[in-house]
C-alpha cells in the first residue's frame, strides 16, 4: 500500500512537472489574415504557407528547448478595421500569441498596428501590405513586411521610363489606397529623375465611360500614359478610350495591369508598352512551390511564399534572441533576414536553427528572396515586362 501510494504520488508529481514544462514551452503565433472579404480567395494558401513554416519549427530541439509552436488564426476581413482590431486583440489577450504573422490588406494592417500591436508590444510581419504609408507608420520597431512597398515599384517604373528616354508622362490611377500610394511614389521618383508629370488624376473603377478622364489626360499630353489600376476594371477602360481617340499609343503599367486579359483585349495595339510586377528569379520560389504542392497547397499563389517567410522570420528571430518577448526578438528580425550569414532556403529552417544554436549567423532567403531594407520591408524584386507582338514578355528583373 505504502509503495503504491509512493508510486502514485511520484507519478502525479512527474506528470504535473511534465505538464507544467509542456505548458510553459508552448509558443503561440497569430496568423491574422483576411479569410473573409475581397481577397478571401488568396488567404487559404497564405495561411497554409505560414503554417508550413510553423510546423517545420515546432518541436525542433534547437527552438526554445523543443517547444511546440501552434498557429492561431484570426480573421482580418481586409476592409473592416474594427473587426480586424478585435480579432488581433483576441489573439493577444485571450490566446496569448507572442507575435503576429499578418495582417494583409494595407488598411487593416495599419489599424491593427496602431491599435493593438504597438500598445501591447507585439511584433507583426505582414506578408502582403504594400502601401507606402506603412513605411513611416509609428511602429516602435515592431512592424516588418515581406512584401515590398509600392514606393519601390514606383521607383522601378520611373527608372525604366527614364532609361527609355521618355521625358513626360500623364498618370492615371485607381481611386483607392493602392492606386493613390503607388501614383504618389511614382510621381515623386519620376520628377526626381527630371521627368515631367503633366497630370496625375484618379479614375473610378466600374464605370461605363472614361471619355472625360481620357480627355483631360490627352489635353495634358505626354509621351506615355502611366496606368496604375486594375486590368479587369477602369484601367482597361482608360486604355480603350486613349487608343480610340488616338490620345496615347505608349503605356506604362503597374502590377495591377499585368495580366493575360490585357493582351487578350488590346493585342498589338499596345505594342512597345512596358510594365512592372513583383517577381524575381530565385531558387527559393521553386523550392517552396515544390514543398507546397507536396503539402497539397498552391505554392505559386500570390503572397503564399511571403507568408511562409513572414512566419519563418518571426520564429528564427525568437531563436536568435533566445526569447519570445517581442521587445527582445524584434531587434533580431533584421539580423536573420539579411547578410552576413549562411543563406537559408524554404525547408531549411531546422538547419538554420542548428546554425543559430551553434552561435553562427543566418541570412534568410526563403521563398521570396527576403532582403529587408529601410524600416524593415522587403526590398522587392520586380520583373520588367514589354508588350511585343501582342503578348507580354519578361525582359529582365530589377
Partner 1 sequence: MDLLNAFVALSNFVLIPAIAYGSQLAIGALGVTLVYGILRFSNFAHGDTMAFGTMVTILATWGLQAMGVSLGPLPVALLAIPVGIAGCAALVLFTDRVVYRFYRGQKVVPVIFVIVSIGVMFIYNGVTRLVLGPDDQRFADGERFIISARDFRDLTGLEEGLALRTTQGLTVVTAIIVVVALFWFLNRTRTGKSMRAYSDNEDLALLSGIDPERVVRVTWLIVAALATIAGVLYGLDKSYKPFTYFQLLLPIFAAAIVGGLGSPLGAIAGGFVIAFSEVGITYAWKKVLEYTLPERFAPDGLVQLLSTDYKFAVSFVILVIVLLFRPTGLFRGKSV
Judged by beta carbon, residue 236 or residue 292, the one nearer partner 1 is 236
CA dist., res. 232 & res. 237, Å (int)? 9
Minimum distance of partner 1 from residue 214's CB (angstroms):
8
Min CB(183)–partner 1 separation in Å: 14
Secondary structure (H, E, C), 178-221: HHHHHHHHHHHHHHHCCCEEEEEEEECCCCCCCHHHHHHHHHHC
Chain residues that interact with partner 1, rule: CB under 8 A? 175, 199, 201-204, 206-209, 211-216, 218-221, 232, 237, 244-247
Nearer to partner 1, 96 or 267 (CB): 267
CA dist., res. 150 & res. 313, Å (int): 22
Shortest Cβ 162–partner 1 spacing (Å) = 24
Q: C-beta of 213: minimal distance to partner 1 in Å?
A: 5
Closer residue to partner 1 (CB): 169 or 349: 169
Q: How far is the CB of 322 from partner 1 (least distance, A)?
A: 54
Query: Dihedral of the CA atoms 185, 190, 196, 198 (nearest 10)?
Result: -30
5 sits in which H/E element: helix 2-24
Closest CA to 337 of 293, 394, 375: 375
* Choice between 246 and 359, CB closer to partner 1: 246
Burial 351-376 (b: 16+ CB within 10 A, else e): ebbebbeeeeebbbbbbbbbbbbebb
* Smallest separation (angstroms) from partner 1 to the CB of 265: 9
Distance CA 213, CA 211 (A): 5
Nearer to partner 1, 14 or 211 (CB): 211
Quote the least distance from Cβ 217 to partner 1, whole Å: 8
CB of 181 to partner 1, least distance (A): 18
Closer to partner 1 by Cβ: residue 261 or 293? 261
We find the least distance from the C-beta atom of residue 168 to partner 1, in angstroms, to be 14
Task: Give the SS3 label for residue 224.
Answer: strand
Residue 169 contacts residue 190 (beta carbons within 8 Å): yes
Q: Choose between 68 and 199: whose C-beta lies nearer to partner 1.
A: 199
103 cis-preceded (ω within 30 degrees of 0)? yes
Nearer to partner 1, 133 or 202 (CB): 202
d(CA 325, CA 87): 20
How much of the chain is in helix, strand and coil states, percent to nearest 5?
45, 20, 30
Instruction: Judge contact between 326 and 98, C-beta under 8 A.
Output: yes
Residue 88 or 270: which CB sits closer to partner 1?
A: 270
**Residue 226 pairs with which residues in a beta bridge?**
171, 252
Among residues 296, 269, 288, 252, which one has the least CA distance to residue 369?
Answer: 288
Amino acid at each position: 500500500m505504502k509503495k503504491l501510494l509512493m508510486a502514485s504520488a511520484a507519478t502525479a508529481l512527474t506528470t504535473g512537472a511534465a505538464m507544467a514544462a509542456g505548458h510553459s514551452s508552448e509558443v503561440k503565433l497569430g496568423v491574422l489574415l483576411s479569410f473573409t472579404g475581397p481577397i478571401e480567395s488568396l488567404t487559404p494558401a497564405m495561411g497554409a504557407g505560414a503554417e508550413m513554416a510553423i510546423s517545420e519549427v515546432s518541436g525542433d530541439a534547437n527552438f526554445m528547448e523543443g517547444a511546440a509552436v501552434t498557429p492561431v488564426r484570426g480573421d482580418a476581413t481586409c476592409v473592416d478595421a474594427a473587426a480586424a482590431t478585435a480579432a488581433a486583440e483576441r489573439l493577444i489577450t485571450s490566446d496569448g500569441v507572442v507575435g503576429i504573422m499578418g495582417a494583409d490588406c494595407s488598411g487593416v494592417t495599419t489599424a491593427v498596428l496602431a491599435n493593438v500591436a504597438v500598445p501591447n508590444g507585439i511584433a507583426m510581419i505582414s506578408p502582403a501590405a504594400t502601401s507606402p504609408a506603412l513605411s513611416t507608420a509609428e511602429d516602435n520597431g515592431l512592424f516588418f513586411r515581406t512584401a515590398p512597398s509600392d514606393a519601390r515599384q514606383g521607383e522601378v517604373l520611373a527608372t525604366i521610363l527614364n532609361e527609355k528616354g521618355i521625358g513626360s508622362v500623364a498618370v492615371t490611377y485607381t481611386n483607392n489606397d493602392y492606386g493613390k500610394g503607388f501614383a504618389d511614389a511614382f510621381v515623386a521618383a519620376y520628377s526626381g529623375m527630371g521627368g515631367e508629370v503633366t497630370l496625375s488624376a484618379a479614375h473610378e473603377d466600374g464605370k461605363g465611360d472614361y471619355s472625360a478622364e481620357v480627355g483631360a489626360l490627352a489635353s495634358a499630353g505626354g509621351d506615355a500614359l502611366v496606368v496604375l489600376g486594375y486590368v479587369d476594371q477602369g484601367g482597361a477602360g482608360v486604355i480603350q478610350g486613349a487608343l480610340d481617340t488616338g490620345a496615347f499609343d505608349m503605356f506604362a503599367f503597374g502590377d495591377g495591369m499585368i495580366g493575360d486579359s490585357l493582351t487578350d483585349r488590346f493585342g498589338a495595339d499596345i505594342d512597345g508598352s512596358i510594365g512592372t510586377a513583383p517577381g524575381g528569379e530565385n531558387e527559393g520560389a521553386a523550392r517552396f512551390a515544390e514543398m507546397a504542392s507536396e503539402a497539397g497547397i498552391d505554392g505559386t499563389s500570390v503572397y503564399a511564399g511571403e507568408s511562409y517567410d513572414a512566419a519563418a522570420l518571426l520564429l528564427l528571430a525568437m531563436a536568435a534572441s533566445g526569447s519570445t518577448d517581442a521587445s527582445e526578438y524584434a531587434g533580431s528580425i533584421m539580423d536573420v533576414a539579411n547578410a552576413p550569414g549562411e543563406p537559408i532556403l524554404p525547408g531549411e529552417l531546422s538547419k538554420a536553427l542548428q546554425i543559430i544554436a551553434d552561435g553562427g549567423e543566418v541570412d534568410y532567403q526563403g521563398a521570396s528572396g527576403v532582403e529587408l531594407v529601410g524600416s524593415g520591408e522587403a526590398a522587392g524584386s520586380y520583373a520588367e515586362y514589354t508588350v511585343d507582338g501582342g503578348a507580354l514578355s519578361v525582359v529582365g528583373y530589377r
